[in-house]
Structures are given as C-alpha cells and as structure tokens.
Amino acid sequence: MNHDPLAHVRALFDLDDSVVYLDGNSLGAPPKNVAARVQDVIANQWGRRLIRSWSEGWWTAPERIGDRIGKLVGAAPGQVVVADSTSVNLFKALMAAVRGTDRSEIVVDAGTFPTDGYIARSVADLTGLALRPVDPDHLAVHDRTAVVLLNHVDYRTGRLLDMAELTARAHAAGAKVVWDLCHSAGVLPIELDRLNVDLAVGCTYKFLNGGPGSPAFLYVPTAAQPGFHQPLTGWTGHRAPFAMTPDYTPDGGVSRARAGTPDIVSMLTLDAALDVWDQVDLRDVRAKGLALTAHFRGLVEDLPGIEVITPADEWRGHQVSLRHRDAESLMRRLIERDVIGDHRPPDVLRFGFAPLYNSFEDAERAAAVLKELL
C-alpha cells in the first residue's frame, strides 16, 4: 500500500467521492473554503464596503497574491504579480524581452501549447523578428537569438524540461528565456530566482485551483524590473495611477507589469484557493505526484491498444498521457462512467493527478474502468 502524507488534504476540497477526477491539469477542483470567501467578497466587501474596499485590500491584491504564488515558484517577494491571462502576460513578457534588441529571432518550443505559439507569432510579426520552432532536445541558441520561449511541462505528453540546463544554455548565447509554468506551478518545487530565469508566466486554474478563468501570473525578477518595458501601458501599471497625468511613467517595481483594472472577484477567489498551500510542503506534493503517476502507469501500460507517451523517469509532470486510436470516444465513455480525464486530438488520453486531492484509489479505479472498456 502506498504511503500518502497528503491524504488528509483531500478533505479540504469539495469533491464528489463517486467521481474520479483526473483533469486537474486543465481545471483544478474547488477548495471548500472558497465559496464562503467569495460570498463575503460579494455581500460584504462589495455589498457593504462598496468602493471603500479598493483602499482596504483590493488595490494591492495583485502583488499580495503574487507573493503567495512566488513562494511556490522560488521567487522572493516583490517579483510576481497576478494579472490578466496567460496569453496577455506572454505578450507582455516577449515584447519586453525583445524590445531594443539587435538580434533577429525568437525561438519557441516546437511542441508548445498553441496559445504560446500564437502569441510568439504575433510578437514576431509586430517586431519583424523571425520565429524559429525547435525541439528542446536539440535547442540551438546563437548570437541571432533574442529570446527563447519554453513550456516547463509539455501539455500533451507531460514531459518535464530541465529548466536549469536550458536556461543556462540560452544565457550562454546571450539570449533571454521565458518559461511557461502553466503545467508545473503547484506540481514541483521551482527555483526561478536561483536559476536566474529572465521572465516566467503561468496560469492559476490548473494545479493551483483558482477557478475557471482565474487570473494568471507574471514573474519579473527585481534586477530586471527597471528595464522591463511592457507594451500594454495601462493605468494600473503607472507609478502614480490616481494622479491621472497624461504621460505614462511605469511603476518602479513589479507593478509595472499590470495593465488594466484587476478582476477582483476572480482575484480573491484565487486568494482563498491558495490557502490550502499554506498547509503542505511542495516536496511532499512532488513525491506523491510521481508515485501516483507511476502507479497508474504500471496499471495501464500493458492494456491492449495503449501506448504510454509520458516519460517513465522523473522528468514528467503530474499527468499520464496515453495514445489510443479511439481516444476521443474512449474518453467520452470514461466520463460516462465518472472517470474524468480529457482528450487531445487526434489520439491522446490525458489523466492529470493532483496530489492534494487525488488518491491511489483514484488511480486504481480509473485503471479498472479503462481496462473494462478496452
């Protein structure tokens, strides 16, 4: 029997025990405390305090909640801000990274999540730089490369890239690197400061359980903040936003990465969801995630018609991806049996394991139903 030091944390989540939920890598489950907190935001902070709430914590929420996420990604206070979506933050980061460059190309992971590729293409088109897709296994960075955009965990296969090695390789060629942490934040200890990462972005509705459409985050290290000139110079990134001056002067710190007025209800929903992380150690989360995915893999890898495409070693996130020629219909039938994963065209079944609430029993139930269907 697998030892589970996080078994007690499942009770903090609002989950139906009849359902095996293995799609936390797309949308995390809601912690139980969130509903009451959101009700307070609506009924009291908005309903009673009205506009006074902006000066009672709302205005500084992007930085305060950013610092909470910073603890999970290895960033000291004052370097992470919660704002906008992942796509918008990617645009900010890439445009800032190539501003004023005399280099001629942007390098992007060839297997990147689609929005990363779309945004990189947009930045390339706007700046006149070339866009070069590469296989991270053969990352070639040279004196023409301005910035490299990489996904820490491959959304399709679950493969984990070596952040230390690839960041060092980019820096050795004088290039900057932007990391997308959407599938790794809340999965394993990340060390952005220690590895001298230039910029990073990530979403909060997957393993951080912030809720559908919860705002994303952007990491800008302290040393890089004076030179971080983002293209979306909205009023909340101004040094003195309420001065209402006609000229734009960016904030001196990470707040310069803000653009428009924050979505307070979603922001404070995320803040409530992050409370569960105050009670766990990311090292325990990582250990359990590797054990869960290994256990599930062992149960399904010999099933007929199944090919496991997630790495068997520790270089994986907390998902197991399987290839099957009838993946779409197979996932639909799994969901009908209350085993919820997802399908990625044309033939990939994804099962995401969130160690805060998934159990080894979940893995066994999911494998048993998959076996029956096959």
- The model's confidence at residue 111, banded by pLDDT at 50, 70 and 90, is very high
Count of CA atoms in the C-beta half-sphere (13 A) of 203 = 25
The catalytic position among 113, 219, 351, 357 is 113
pLDDT for 55: 96
pLDDT for 283: 97
Residue 1 has pLDDT above 80, yes or no: no
Asked if residue 257 and residue 295 are part of one domain, the reply reads no
The catalytic position among 92, 103, 206, 256 is 206
Angle at 265 between CA 263 and CA 270, to 5 degrees: 95
Per-residue pLDDT averaged across 222-239, rounded?
Answer: 97
Residue 2 domain-assigned (yes or no):
no
Domain boundary among 277, 292, 317: 277
297 is catalytic: no
Asked if residue 195 and residue 65 are part of one domain, the reply reads yes
Residue 96 has pLDDT above 70, yes or no: yes
The catalytic position among 156, 176, 297, 350 is 350
Query: Whose CA is closest to 142, among 167, 168, 174, 120?
Result: 174
Q: Write down the mean pLDDT value for the chain.
A: 97
The catalytic position among 13, 21, 205, 217 is 205
pLDDT for 154: 97
Q: Are 356 and 199 a contacting pair, CB within 8 Å?
A: no
The span from the CA of 127 to the CA of 263, in Å, is 30
Domain boundary among 261, 277, 293: 277
Asked if residue 226 and residue 299 are part of one domain, the reply reads no
Domain count, the chain: 2
Residue environment code for 294-307, b if the CB has 16+ CB neighbours within 10 A, otherwise e: bbbbebbeebeebe
Asked if residue 322 and residue 266 are part of one domain, the reply reads no
**CATH number, residue 363:** 3.90.1150.10
For residue 59, give its domain range.
39-277
Asked if residue 348 and residue 229 are part of one domain, the reply reads no
Query: Whose CA is closest to 61, among 82, 31, 40, 44?
Result: 82
Annotated binding site: 86-87, 113-116, 180, 183, 205, 235, 261
The catalytic position among 4, 23, 180, 342 is 180
Residue 59 domain-assigned (yes or no):
yes
Asked if residue 182 and residue 230 are part of one domain, the reply reads yes
Q: What are the tens digits of pLDDT across the range 277-296? A: 999 999 999 999 999 999 99
Q: Are 144 and 104 a contacting pair, CB within 8 Å?
A: yes
Residue 2 has pLDDT above 90, yes or no: no
Q: What are the tens digits of pLDDT across the range 260-269? A: 999 999 999 9
| β-bridge partners, 109 | 134
pLDDT for 3: 76
Asked if residue 80 and residue 18 are part of one domain, the reply reads no
Query: Whose CA is closest to 10, among 370, 366, 369, 353?
Result: 353
Q: What are the tens digits of pLDDT across the range 313-364? A: 999 999 999 999 999 999 999 999 999 999 999 999 999 999 999 999 999 9
156 is catalytic: no
Asked if residue 315 and residue 227 are part of one domain, the reply reads no
The span from the CA of 198 to the CA of 224, in Å, is 8
Asked if residue 369 and residue 268 are part of one domain, the reply reads no
Asked if residue 346 and residue 207 are part of one domain, the reply reads no
Domain boundary among 253, 277, 301: 277
Question: What tokens appear for 260 in the block?
Answer: 């428009």
| Residues 6 or more apart whose Cβ sits within 8 Å of residue 281 | none
What's this model's pTM, rounded to 2 decimal places? Answer: 0.97
Annotated binding site for pyridoxal 5'-phosphate: 86-87, 113-116, 180, 183, 205, 235, 261
Q: Where on the phi/psi map is residue 234: left (φ > 0), alpha (ψ -120 to 50), or beta?
A: beta
Q: What are the tens digits of pLDDT across the range 41-62? A: 999 999 999 999 999 999 999 9
Q: How far is CA 264 from CA 84, 225, 253, 369, in A?
A: 11, 25, 21, 41
Asked if residue 299 and residue 271 are part of one domain, the reply reads no
Q: Peptide bond preceding 346: is omega within 30 degrees of 0, i.e. cis?
A: yes
Q: What are the tens digits of pLDDT across the range 240-258? A: 999 999 999 999 999 999 9
pLDDT for 72: 98
113 is catalytic: yes
Q: What percent of the chain lies above the pLDDT cut of 70? A: 99
Q: What are the tens digits of pLDDT across the range 124-171? A: 999 999 999 999 999 999 999 999 999 999 999 999 999 999 999 999
